Amino acid sequence: MKFSRYLILFIFITACNSPRAVYDYDQNVNFEQYSTYAIFPELQTGLSQLDESRLLESVRSGFQQKGLESTDQPGLFLNLYTERFEQDNRNRLGVGIGGGGGNVGVGVSGGVPIGQMDTYIRLTFDLIDVKNDKLVWQAIVEGPFDLNAKPEQRKMFFDKIVAKALEKYPPEN
């Protein structure tokens, strides 16, 4: 019984910190026809050059695992863009006062925020059919991002994001 409590706690903690993804795709497209890709020529991810190169390295590795080859004559263009946002970290210090007499009680309380906001990155993956110039697949993945992370940690973060994004590619019909 004790083990199951710890297991549930562990699952809850890891679930809160893992990237979340949303997928969409054109149901009329046969994804088996695509075996090649290229990075969109006018790529502007919104990341620093170092983070962008880490992300593209993760993408190349992820696509290679999916059987897609990078080439000059691609079937798909990959466009990537990011959005950084901050979210309240929900840590609060509760402060309250109260009093009463007889059968009546009155209380007032509130929460004082502790710490700073958490930084998140939302990364959008667009796969565009080169021949038809049409968006055929999209994944939007977001996760917590530590601005003070070491380069190895940043690389691991992008590896996780890309793995989560490509988890549902190609879509099952």
- What own/partner pairs with CB < 8 Å and gap ≥ 24 does 129-136 have? 129/29, 129/75, 129/76, 130/38, 130/74, 130/75, 130/76, 130/77, 131/75, 134/26, 135/26, 136/25, 136/26, 136/29, 136/31, 136/76
Domain borders along the chain are 20-88+113-168
Q: What is the DSSP letter of 49?
A: H
| Helix, strand and coil in the chain, % to nearest 5 | 30, 40, 30
pLDDT at 14 over 50: no
Residues contacting 68, CB < 8 A, separation 6+: 34, 35, 36, 37, 76
Q: What is the pLDDT of residue 132?
A: 93
pLDDT at 112 over 90: no
Averaged over 110-138, what is the pLDDT?
84
Q: What is the pLDDT of residue 113?
A: 61
Fold of 20-88+113-168: Double Stranded RNA Binding Domain (3.30.160)
Beta strands 69-70 and 104-113: pairing type? unpaired
In this prediction, residue 173 has a pLDDT band, given cuts at 50, 70 and 90, of low
pLDDT at 8 over 60: no
Q: What is the pLDDT of residue 5?
A: 53
- Tokens at 113, concatenated: 């925020």
In this prediction, residue 18 has a pLDDT band, given cuts at 50, 70 and 90, of confident
Please give the mean pLDDT across all residues of the chain: 83
Q: What is the pLDDT of residue 84?
A: 82
130 phi, psi to nearest 5 deg: -65, -45
Q: How far is CA 39 from the centre of its chain?
A: 19
- Per residue in 56-106, pLDDT (tens digit) is 999 999 999 999 999 999 999 999 998 887 766 565 666 667 777 777 777
What percent of the chain stands above pLDDT 70? Answer: 76
The overall longest dimension of the chain from CA atoms, in Å, is 83
Q: What is the pLDDT of residue 86?
A: 75
- Tokens at 91, concatenated: 């840590």
